[in-house]
Structures are given as C-alpha cells and as structure tokens.
C-alpha cells in the first residue's frame, strides 16, 4: 500500500509500504493512484515526494503477480498521471530503485538518491523488458548508448554512476527523504515542461544504424538464444526513431510477445528457485530455519591444485583467515604465487585492496590445528582422502568441521574414518572455484544439521548459490552428467560427429557442447574414474565384448582416445584438434572422423543420419530421467535444487529454466513417450528406462512443477 502525509507545510509525502522490497503489487499500485490523486487535489500541497519505507525505494513490479491474472491499476497510466501532474513530484531513492521502481522514478520530475542506492532495469534477466515506459524514457534522458547498455544487461548502477549518467539530479549522504522534501520545497513554483521526460526527444546518436546493428550483434552473441535482450534493443530503437506515443505502442507489443514466451516463465522460475534452494531441508526433517550455523573465523584448505587454490581465494575474499596446506615445498611456493596473483587480480577488478595477509601457507598439516573448518581438496582418490581425514582427526581441535571437495566419492565412507562423523560434510566446488557460482553441500547419513547449515552459510558468504544434496555417487550434478555423456558417445557410434552433437547442444543454449566441455575439463578425469570402477583398462576396448560392460551397453570411445594420450585441450587433441597443447580454439579433426569410421566398421555399426532433435532428446531426456530418479531417491529435496545446480554449475541455459523445468515445458507425457521409444530401440541402456516418479507424475495428470513435491512424497513413502 501507500501512505500519505503532509510535511513541512506544503509537501505531500507518499510512502510505499510492501516489505521486504516495496514491490509494486496491485495494492501498492492502487495506493499510489489514490495518494497521488489526493496530493494533487489538495490545495495545501504544492509539491510531492514519493519514497519507500524501510530504506528501500522500490524493487519493481511484484514478480509473483506475473503468473496470475493481473488486477489493480496498470503501471503505465499510473506513471503517466504522475508525469502529467501540475505539481512537481520528486522521487526520494534509498536502497534500491529497480525495474518498475526506477520507471516510477523516471515518471517523477526530479530524482534524489542516497549515495548507497542502486538503480537499474533488470527486467531482461526475467525474460522481459522495462515496459512501464522505461525503454522510452531512459534513452530520452541519458542517450541511446548508455540506455542500451543498462536495458540489455540489466546491470545495477551506483548512485554516483546514476548522477554521472544523468539518471538522478542529486545524491545525498544524509537523510534522503529530508533532502527530497527540501528539494521539493525549492522547486514548487518551477515550470515542469522540460522535466517531463516523455516530452523530450532522444539525443540523436551519430550513426544510428551502425549503433543498433552493433548492439544487436552483441546481444545475439551473448544471449545464446535468449529473446528478451533482442526485444530490448528493438524497443530502444523505437525510442530513437519514433515519437513517444508510438514508441510506447512498440514497447507494449514487444512486451506482449515476451510475456507469453516460455523464456520469461523459465527465468522467473529461476528467480524464485534460486531463493528457494536456500530454504534447504534434509530427509531427517532438519531445516534451514531450525538449524543454526556455527561461527567460522579461521578456515584451512588441504591440497593446493587448481581446486584448492580457487577455494583458498574464495574463502579469503570473504574476509576469513585461511591456512593453505600443500605438503611439497615446491608446489606450495607455486600455489602461493598463483593464489596471490588471483587475489590481486580480483581485488583490482573490484577496486579494493588485496587480502594477501589473510592467507598463510604451510607444508605441515599440523598448521590447521586451530582452524574452525577444513576443506580437503587433494587428488580425487579415496585412499588418499581417507588418509587425510584420519590425519585431520588427530590434528584438529575438537569440533572442527571436516569438509571434502570430492566431486563423486562416498561422504559416509570418509566420515567413517573420523571419530566424529557428524562433523563431516561435502563442499563440492566447481572450477574455477573462486568464480563459479555453484556449491553442492553434500550431507552424509550422519552429518549434523548444524554442520550443513554452516557449510550452506559459508557458501552464501562466498557469493555462491549453495544447494544441499544427499550422498550418492556423483551427488546431483555429476550423477546426471553420466547418462548425458554416455549418450553423446552412443550418438557418435550411431553416426554423429562431435561437431554435430555440440552444435545441437549449443544452439539449445548450452555455453559449451558436451565434447567441447570434455576437451576443456580433460578426458583423463573420467577415464580415471572408469578405471577405478573396473569399466576401463587397456585392451578392454577391443573385440566384440568391448561395447558391453557389466551387462549393459558401453562405449569405449573416450577410453580409446585416452589410450592415445588425447586428453583434450591440455594435450592439444581430444574430440577436436587444437593448434597446440593448452590451445583453446577447437577445430574439427579429420583424424577423429576416420577413427570413428574405422571404429564403426570394426564393430559392424552402420552410421545413420542423426538430427539435432535426436541429439537433444537422447542426451537431455536421459539426464532428466536421472533427475527424476534423484528426486525419487531423496538425494535432492525438489526439482528447484536440480535446476539451480545445472544452471549455476553446468552451463544449462537459464532461459530454459533447468532440466526439470524444461521437462515440464516440453510436457512430461512427451518426455515419457520419447524415453519409452528410445528404450525400446536400445533395451541395453538402462538409463533410458523411464523412472517410476516420471510415470507417476504423468499418471497424476502432469501437475505443474511447483506441485511435484506432493507426488514425490507419495512415491518416496511407497519405496
């Protein structure tokens, strides 16, 4: 709602009240319409200030309302009425003015911001555009290039940048409402014509066509199939080329296409899912709101390879004191140099001093004795990790949390090496660990809720999206990756090339196709795991039995490449070729194509034409099927957890919402039907067998994703 008071004799003060961010819900919009009318019709009121309660101006339209039938007064006429007012209206911007909130402020005649406020039009990240006049007013106010930047990226600007750009008229370090009231008193007699942004023309850019062509090219390159950034450019073009009223029509038209697009739904789902994963729960009933995290003052990292270095940087950047341990002196010195470099570069980017002093380096495990939390990041080898956990149990002070960065190994087995298994938890970071936003927090059967809460909170402090998951081989992310990759190999056997598979996945929106990704992360990683699992060893890839392992279809293609030292980028060849070891630009490799032909001939396989649809269905639907198994097994609490893991850790296109959301968009019946079809064609691939939960969901009428938990509960209770 909105409250009205008269202050300083003649200033009408309208204050938005809708905690936590004063979103413009129907009630708030109605409140604004009513209070503005009251202020304008009150002869004692000579000017008006609009502010938000609790230190926040406005977080924009109420996103929760987007999926519902809209009620209450619409934003556009409401903002027009404010702009058309004959009394000066001043926006007092504290905290945030985002989306519809900033558009409301742009309808006011003046804007005063607190120095700590942030402003922006982030609609693009929700699959929308600023359709309450934002695409038409902002370019008129600050020019086309700056408006294009803000609207297509959705980035927030500080008050200082907003002042420089001309979005706000004044910045204050003091009480913003007091400053705005004072300002409103000083302008009460001023003419308002020039202050109505919609009256103004866009400052003409020098080469309009080149500017918009460049902008369009840029968004098409970075958007990976997202439609909103393209519509944003089109809407700003309308501002630059059309009178205001026509521009508003164009804005409305473009918004209508976006609003009904699946992408907007997916992106809005991601917005809420990202927040929902913070409200974690465990099968024991322990929850985020009943488990209190422990304070962590000092952390330690054991093993300073790529992962350990990144984790050290991420911890130090939160302000924690970190002991970094690597037993070999030479590697320790190399790691110290690398970590210091990363800290310096990070600090430079953020315009702060590097926190080099927070990290101490040591060859001796004894140095972690007084740490509150230790993260083990040694080589992915169970025996080695077990040894480290045994040593840590002897060295650490009582109560120290013991965390492992394993990407797949059994947390319970590691926990059993310590006298206090309740203190053990997985913290699975993604490389590079100081950059990637995802953290899988893996609880074992005996991890205490307090320990999980501590790991989740630490992840949040590091700026990560932390997702709590249960313990199983590969946890959530890597467990689902296995059938996805396996199917990519089968597709090569059946007639595809790495280029074809990658192109289908990249056109779908993945940052990188499965083979390019495999070359980047190194083929040897998976090879080592398969060898440990008894699935691969030299010579096994020959003969008729080569394509059957443990009673099911197996593709030895990746093993065969590894046997020839084709480990990907690091060796300059893998699924693609590179100009040198460590090279990054992939090129199709004629050697690989002949190798595939020979391989198929040797095994009596006849290559057939594979299209993009088959690639997507076989790779993605098997991955999705495994996601349903994960839900059934209780490894993830809900589909949002899986989706956020894939969006933040595996390059799944955000505008497609994550694999489970995507399954809902495709239609669960369709996913089930295609899995059944492929399973019939490939009965030796168990991953293709539709899982029980998927069948149950379809049998329950394919409910929307937010209602899956009800069915999941029933299925779990029957297992």
The residues carrying an active-site annotation are 103, 123
Among 12, 31, 52, 60, binds ligand LFKQWZQV (CB under 6 A): 60
In whole angstroms, the minimum distance from the beta carbon of 391 to ligand LFKQWZQV comes to 39
Q: Binding of ligand LFKQWZQV at residue 373 (CB under 6 A)?
A: no
Distance of CA 20 to the CA centre of its chain: 22
In whole angstroms, the minimum distance from the beta carbon of 133 to ligand LFKQWZQV comes to 9
Q: Which segment (92-100, 501-509, 512-520, 538-546) binds ligand LFKQWZQV by CB under 6 A?
A: 92-100
In whole angstroms, the minimum distance from the beta carbon of 438 to ligand LFKQWZQV comes to 17
Distance CA 573, CA 561 (A): 9
Do 135 and 151 contact (CB within 8 A), yes or no?
A: yes
Looking up tokens 């993260």, which residue turns up? 375
CB closer to ligand LFKQWZQV out of 65 and 507:
65
Q: Which of 529, 532, 505 is nearest to 650 (CA)?
A: 505
Q: Binding of ligand LFKQWZQV at residue 313 (CB under 6 A)?
A: no
Please enumerate in sequence order all residues whose Cβ is within 8 A of that of 515, keeping only pairs 6 or more positions apart, or say none: 488, 498, 501, 502, 574, 575, 576
Q: Which of 157, 95, 89 is nearest to 122 (CA)?
A: 157
Distance CA 45, CA 432 (A): 58
In whole angstroms, the minimum distance from the beta carbon of 20 to ligand LFKQWZQV comes to 5
Helices (H), 154-207: 159-165, 176-186
Helices 262-276 and 659-666: angle between axes, nearest 10 degrees: 140
In whole angstroms, the minimum distance from the beta carbon of 126 to ligand LFKQWZQV comes to 5
Q: Which segment (62-70, 335-343, 497-505, 514-522) binds ligand LFKQWZQV by CB under 6 A?
A: 62-70
Q: Which residue is nearest to ligand LFKQWZQV (CB)?
A: 99
CB closer to ligand LFKQWZQV out of 45 and 270:
270
Q: Which segment (121-129, 195-203, 453-461, 494-502) binds ligand LFKQWZQV by CB under 6 A?
A: 121-129
Q: Which segment (26-34, 86-94, 96-104, 682-690) binds ligand LFKQWZQV by CB under 6 A?
A: 96-104
Q: Binding of ligand LFKQWZQV at residue 96 (CB under 6 A)?
A: yes
Helices 708-718 and 692-699: angle between axes, nearest 10 degrees: 130
Q: Which of 151, 150, 168, 148 is nearest to 159 (CA)?
A: 168
Do 680 and 633 contact (CB within 8 A), yes or no?
A: no
Q: In the 8-state DSSP scheme, what is residue 261?
A: S
Distance CA 38, CA 301 (A): 62
CB closer to ligand LFKQWZQV out of 122 and 444:
122
Do 346 and 313 contact (CB within 8 A), yes or no?
A: yes
Q: Binding of ligand LFKQWZQV at residue 32 (CB under 6 A)?
A: no
Do 382 and 413 contact (CB within 8 A), yes or no?
A: yes
Q: In the 8-state DSSP scheme, what is residue 61?
A: B
CB closer to ligand LFKQWZQV out of 104 and 223:
104
Q: Which of 710, 714, 613, 630 is nearest to 666 (CA)?
A: 613
Q: Which segment (104-112, 124-132, 166-174, 375-383) binds ligand LFKQWZQV by CB under 6 A?
A: 124-132
In whole angstroms, the minimum distance from the beta carbon of 295 to ligand LFKQWZQV comes to 21
Among 45, 62, 288, 569, binds ligand LFKQWZQV (CB under 6 A): 62
In whole angstroms, the minimum distance from the beta carbon of 299 to ligand LFKQWZQV comes to 24
Q: Binding of ligand LFKQWZQV at residue 69 (CB under 6 A)?
A: no
Q: Binding of ligand LFKQWZQV at residue 122 (CB under 6 A)?
A: yes
Among 12, 88, 99, 568, binds ligand LFKQWZQV (CB under 6 A): 99
Q: Which of 672, 655, 658 is nearest to 621 (CA)?
A: 672
Distance CA 296, CA 317 (A): 14
CB closer to ligand LFKQWZQV out of 23 and 451:
23
Cis geometry, peptide bond prior to residue 20 (ω within 30 degrees of 0):
yes
3-state secondary structure of 380: coil
Phi, psi of 155 (to 5 degrees): -70, 150
Among 59, 127, 247, 354, binds ligand LFKQWZQV (CB under 6 A): 59
Among 39, 49, 90, 126, binds ligand LFKQWZQV (CB under 6 A): 126
Can you read off the two tokens belonging to residue 402? Answer: 């013991």
Q: Which segment (53-61, 84-92, 180-188, 191-199) binds ligand LFKQWZQV by CB under 6 A?
A: 53-61
Phi, psi of 160 (to 5 degrees): -65, -45
Compose the 450-489 pattern: x for residues touching ligand LFKQWZQV by CB under 6 A, - for all others. ----------------------------------------
Q: Binding of ligand LFKQWZQV at residue 123 (CB under 6 A)?
A: yes
Q: Which segment (93-101, 208-216, 487-495, 662-670) binds ligand LFKQWZQV by CB under 6 A?
A: 93-101
| Chain residues 266-295 in contact with ligand LFKQWZQV, contact rule CB under 6 A | 275
Return the H-helix or E-strand segment holding 702.
none
Do 530 and 544 contact (CB within 8 A), yes or no?
A: no
Among 2, 61, 226, 411, binds ligand LFKQWZQV (CB under 6 A): 61
Among 7, 26, 40, 63, binds ligand LFKQWZQV (CB under 6 A): 63
CB closer to ligand LFKQWZQV out of 25 and 420:
25
Distance CA 622, CA 636 (A): 17
3-state secondary structure of 145: helix
Q: Binding of ligand LFKQWZQV at residue 75 (CB under 6 A)?
A: yes
Please enumerate in sequence order all residues whose Cβ is within 8 A of that of 670, keeping only pairs 6 or more positions apart, or say none: none
Q: Binding of ligand LFKQWZQV at residue 131 (CB under 6 A)?
A: yes
Distance CA 625, CA 685 (A): 12
3-state secondary structure of 119: strand
Q: DSSP letters of 466-485? A: EEEEE-STTTTHHHHHHHHH
Q: Binding of ligand LFKQWZQV at residue 13 (CB under 6 A)?
A: no
Q: Which segment (127-135, 301-309, 491-499, 709-717) binds ligand LFKQWZQV by CB under 6 A?
A: 127-135
Can you read off the two tokens belonging to residue 170? Answer: 């004044």
Q: Binding of ligand LFKQWZQV at residue 64 (CB under 6 A)?
A: yes
In whole angstroms, the minimum distance from the beta carbon of 24 to ligand LFKQWZQV comes to 7
Q: Binding of ligand LFKQWZQV at residue 20 (CB under 6 A)?
A: yes
CB closer to ligand LFKQWZQV out of 28 and 403:
28
Looking up tokens 């521009």, which residue turns up? 247
In whole angstroms, the minimum distance from the beta carbon of 281 to ligand LFKQWZQV comes to 15
Q: DSSP letters of 645-681? A: HHHHHS---GGGT-HHHHHHHH-HHHHHHHHHHHHHH
In whole angstroms, the minimum distance from the beta carbon of 237 to ligand LFKQWZQV comes to 19
Counting every residue written for the chain, the total comes to: 719
Q: Binding of ligand LFKQWZQV at residue 232 (CB under 6 A)?
A: no
Query: For 657, what's the count of Cα atoms within 13 Å in the CB-facing half-sphere?
Result: 21
Q: Which segment (27-35, 91-99, 594-602, 682-690) binds ligand LFKQWZQV by CB under 6 A?
A: 91-99
Distance CA 255, CA 422 (A): 51
- Torsion 695-700-704-709 (CA) sign: negative
Q: Which residues bind ligand LFKQWZQV (CB under 6 A)?
A: 20-21, 23, 59-64, 75, 96, 98-100, 122-123, 126, 128, 131-132, 275
């Amino acid at each position: 709602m909105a409250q009205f008071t008269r202050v300083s004799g003649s200033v009408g003060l309208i204050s938005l009240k809708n905690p936590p961010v004063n979103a413009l819900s129907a009630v708030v919009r109605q409140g604004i319409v009513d209070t503005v009318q009251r202020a304008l019709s009150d002869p004692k009121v000579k000017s008006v200030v609009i502010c938000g309660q609790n230190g926040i101006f406005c977080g924009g339209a109420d996103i929760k309302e987007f999926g519902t039938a809209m009620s209450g007064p619409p934003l556009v006429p409401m903002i027009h009425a404010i702009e058309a007012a004959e009394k000066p209206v001043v926006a007092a911007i504290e905290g945030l003015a985002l989306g519809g909130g900033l558009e409301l402020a742009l309808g006011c005649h003046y804007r005063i911001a607190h120095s700590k406020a942030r402003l922006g039009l982030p609609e693009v990240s929700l699959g929308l555009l600023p359709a309450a006049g934002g695409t038409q007013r902002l370019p008129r106010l600050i020019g086309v290039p700056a408006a294009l930047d803000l609207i297509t990226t959705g980035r927030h600007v500080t008050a200082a940048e907003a002042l420089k750009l001309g979005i706000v008229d004044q910045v204050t370090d003091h009480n913003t409402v007091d400053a705005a009231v004072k300002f409103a008193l000083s302008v009460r007699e001023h003419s308002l014509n020039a202050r109505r942004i919609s009256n103004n023309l866009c400052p003409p850019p020098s080469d309009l066509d080149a500017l918009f062509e460049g902008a369009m090219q840029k968004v098409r390159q970075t958007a990976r199939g997202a439609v909103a950034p393209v519509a944003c450019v089109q809407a700003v073009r309308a501002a630059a080329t059309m009178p205001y009223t026509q521009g508003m029509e164009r804005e409305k038209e473009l918004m209508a296409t976006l609003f009904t697009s699946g992408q907007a739904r997916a992106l809005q789902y991601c917005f809420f899912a990202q927040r929902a994963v913070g409200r974690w729960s465990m099968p024991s009933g322990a929850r985020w709101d009943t488990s209190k995290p422990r304070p962590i003052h000092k952390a330690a990292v054991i093993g300073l390879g790529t992962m350990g270095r990144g984790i050290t940087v991420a911890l130090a950047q939160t302000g924690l004191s970190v002991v970094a341990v690597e037993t070999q002196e030479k590697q320790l010195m190399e790691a110290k140099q690398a970590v210091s470099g990363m800290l310096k570069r990070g600090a430079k980017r953020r315009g702060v001093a590097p926190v080099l002093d927070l990290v101490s380096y040591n060859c001796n495990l004894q140095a972690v004795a007084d740490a509150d939390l230790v993260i083990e990041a040694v080589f992915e080898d169970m025996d080695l990790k077990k040894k480290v956990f045994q040593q840590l149990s002897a060295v650490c002070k009582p109560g120290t949390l013991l965390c492992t960065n394993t990407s797949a190994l059994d947390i319970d087995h590691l926990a059993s090496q310590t006298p206090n298994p309740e203190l053990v938890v997985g913290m699975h970071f993604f490389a590079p660990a100081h950059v990637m936003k995802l953290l899988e927090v893996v609880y074992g059967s005996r991890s205490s809720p307090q320990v999980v809460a501590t790991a989740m909170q630490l992840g949040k402090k590091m700026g990560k999206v932390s997702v709590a998951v249960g313990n199983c081989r590969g946890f959530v992310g890597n467990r689902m990756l296995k059938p996805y990759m396996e199917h990519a190999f089968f597709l090569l056997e059946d007639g595809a090339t790495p280029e074809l598979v990658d192109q289908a996945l990249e056109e779908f929106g993945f940052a990188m196709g499965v083979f390019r990704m495999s070359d980047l992360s190194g083929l040897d990683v998976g090879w080592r795991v398969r060898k440990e699992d008894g699935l691969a060893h030299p010579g096994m890839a020959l003969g008729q039995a080569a394509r059957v392992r443990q009673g099911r279809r197996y593709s030895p293609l990746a093993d065969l490449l590894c046997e020839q030292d084709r480990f990907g980028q690091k060796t300059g060849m893998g699924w693609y070729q590179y100009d040198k070891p460590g090279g990054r630009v992939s090129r199709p490799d004629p050697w690989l194509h002949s190798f595939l032909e020979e391989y198929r001939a040797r095994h009596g396989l006849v290559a057939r034409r594979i299209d993009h649809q088959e690639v997507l269905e076989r790779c993605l639907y098997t991955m999705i099927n495994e996601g349903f198994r994960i839900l059934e097994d209780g490894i993830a609490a809900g589909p949002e957890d899986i989706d956020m893991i894939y969006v933040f850790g595996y390059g799944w296109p955000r505008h497609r919402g994550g694999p489970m959301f995507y399954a809902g968009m495709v239609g669960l019946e369709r996913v089930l039907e295609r899995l059944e079809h492929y399973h019939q064609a490939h009965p030796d691939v168990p991953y293709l067998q539709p899982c029980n939960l998927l069948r149950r969901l379809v049998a329950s009428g394919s409910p929307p994703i937010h209602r899956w938990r009800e069915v999941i509960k029933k299925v779990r209770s029957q297992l």
